[in-house]
Amino acid sequence: MALLLQSYTFGKQYLDSWLHPAPQKNPNALKLGVLSTAQINSAAGKFTPFHCDTTGANEGIVIDPVATHPDVVLYAIASRDESTAASFASKYHFQKSYGSYEALLADPEVDFVYISTPNGLHFEWASKALDAGKHVLLEKPFTSNAIEAEALVQKSKQSGKILMEAFHWQFHPAAHLFRELLDSGEYGGILRTDAAMTTTPAVPPGDIRWQFDLAGGSLMDMTYAISFTRYALHAETPEKVLSATAGPSSHDPRVDRSMTAALQFKLRNVNKNADNSNVDSTIYTDMSRSYLFGVIPRFWEFPSIRVETDRAEIYFYNAMMPHLYHYIGITDKETGKTRYVSLYKGGPLWKDRGETYWSTYRYQLEAFVDKIRGRKPVWWIEGEDSIAQMKTIDEVYKASGLPLRPTSPLLAA
């Protein structure tokens, strides 16, 4: 399940930092600024296996990956409280700390920022970072809604600065192998897909993911289910949302505890054997998945996607964090036999680059640095893709009868 996976990732990366010596940093290494200390979850200190934040803990997502990258240094970290920022700077070896986000963005030495504020603040701080001349690596979900996404991408283009949504899983070699299998034509055209992401035990009460004004909800937090689907199909937005049913939070009926949706996408003809024009897809997200028989947490339900083709079923187990463990099961529909493949290094895009111990976040950082340095990254998430992702989320919310997440007041100003 998602929370356990993320906790394990942060613990593994902390261990890897001990096992693999840090490389010597380049003299002109890029200087990273981190906005927010609220989501840092120490793998060495208060390690909380179930109640860590799936929107991203800074240590696992950027701090540990930076340790193994020769061209990035931990330069500055900001918090609303100056003493808190100073404490984290000392603990994680940042060169500077700031008692406000504005102060960090005003530092001319900062080359790029990683933003993991609550969802509802993504647009505001990414926008201000671009205005300050910083490149931005922005946590998922990209924004609160498609209106914000379109405005933010436009600002990025006008500023000339790089902006990317941190869908880290798409940078891993296993994700590229999965798509290569689907695109090969060997298994025929795609007929349907099913993707799911759940959490058990439940996200704890009081967590920001239950707050409507901060763009909370299972579909927002577990947006991976839509990402898996669109990635597999090379899809933009769905042709139709056939149905959507939200399980409302008991604390706020505007916030979805769970979401079940059926979508219809138009399949892009990526190979001559793919002759299906439309594909039906289901997604399921749940921030408080029920226990099996009422007593057993569903620890085995890792974020995954199943793709049915003309001749096979292809199942990518643990697509969210394949660096920990994953498999791609290919079941022949005629014989019923299943073969399993996995990939932790290299593959169709990375080839001889990378290490088996690199996390999805480390591969993502590699690509992001390549982009800043003017090199062509092996994989990239364009702004238009993030807009399509948010449009899809909006359409599902509309079909479910729930309101869209609120738009930032900055756009109404």
DSSP string, 304-328: EEEEEESSEEEEEET-S-TTTS-EE
Give the pLDDT confidence of 280-324 residue by residue, as tens digits: 999 999 999 877 766 677 777 899 999 999 999 999 999 999 999
Residue 378 lies in a domain: no
Residue 360 lies in a domain: no
* C-alpha span between 212 and 404 (Å, rounded): 9
Structure tokens at 121: 């603040």
Handedness of CA 361, 215, 385, 30 (dihedral sign): negative
For 79, the enclosing helix (H) or strand (E) is none
Single out the residue of 257, 262, 293, 294 nearest to residue 278, CA to CA: 262
| Other Cβ atoms within 10 Å of 267 Cβ, number | 18
The pLDDT score that the predictor gives to residue 43 is 31
Same domain, 296 and 319: yes
How many domains in the chain? 2
Residue 371 lies in a domain: no
* C-alpha span between 22 and 309 (Å, rounded): 44
Give the pLDDT confidence of 172-185 residue by residue, as tens digits: 999 999 999 999 99
Same domain, 161 and 280: no
Residue 407 lies in a domain: no
Per-residue pLDDT at 55 exceeds 50: no
| Other Cβ atoms within 10 Å of 223 Cβ, number | 25
* C-alpha span between 295 and 217 (Å, rounded): 25
Coil/strand/helix, residue 73: strand
Q: Which of 148, 169, 190 is the last residue of a domain?
A: 169
Single out the residue of 75, 87, 66, 76 nearest to residue 13, CA to CA: 66
Residue 362 lies in a domain: no
Ramachandran sector of residue 235 (left: φ over 0; alpha: ψ -120 to 50; beta: rest): beta
* C-alpha span between 168 and 324 (Å, rounded): 13
* C-alpha span between 404 and 320 (Å, rounded): 25
State the average pLDDT over residues 323-350.
97
Same domain, 224 and 185: yes
Q: Which of 135, 169, 203 is the last residue of a domain?
A: 169
Same domain, 52 and 177: no
- CATH code (residue 319): 3.30.360.10
User: Which one from 128, 140, 345, 391 is the annotated catalytic residue?
Assistant: 140
Same domain, 23 and 140: yes
Same domain, 267 and 388: yes
Per-residue pLDDT at 147 exceeds 80: yes
The pLDDT score that the predictor gives to residue 49 is 30
* C-alpha span between 126 and 400 (Å, rounded): 29
Least confident of 45-59, 160-174, 179-193, 374-388: 45-59
- Helical axes 122-131 vs 146-159, angle rounded to 10°: 10
Same domain, 154 and 279: no
State the average pLDDT over residues 192-209.
93
Same domain, 195 and 46: no
Coil/strand/helix, residue 60: helix
* The model scores a pTM over 0.85: yes
Residue 342 lies in a domain: yes
Residue 372 lies in a domain: no
Residue 359 lies in a domain: no
Same domain, 236 and 90: no
What is the extent of the structural domain holding 219? 170-354+383-399
Same domain, 308 and 298: yes
Is there a catalytic annotation at residue 134?
A: no
Give the pLDDT confidence of 224-239 residue by residue, as tens digits: 999 999 999 999 999 9
Same domain, 145 and 271: no
- Cα 259 to chain center, whole Å? 18
CB 111 within 8 A of CB 139: no
The pLDDT score that the predictor gives to residue 235 is 96
DSSP string, 278-306: EEEEEEEEESSPPPBTTTB--TT--SEEE
Same domain, 141 and 257: no
CB 304 within 8 A of CB 317: yes
Q: Which of 169, 191, 223 is the last residue of a domain?
A: 169
State the average pLDDT over residues 130-157.
98
The pLDDT score that the predictor gives to residue 48 is 30
* C-alpha span between 384 and 376 (Å, rounded): 18
**Exposed / middle / buried, residue 219 (Cβ in 10 Å: 0-12, 13-18, 19+):** buried
Ramachandran sector of residue 347 (left: φ over 0; alpha: ψ -120 to 50; beta: rest): left
- CATH code (residue 136): 3.40.50.720
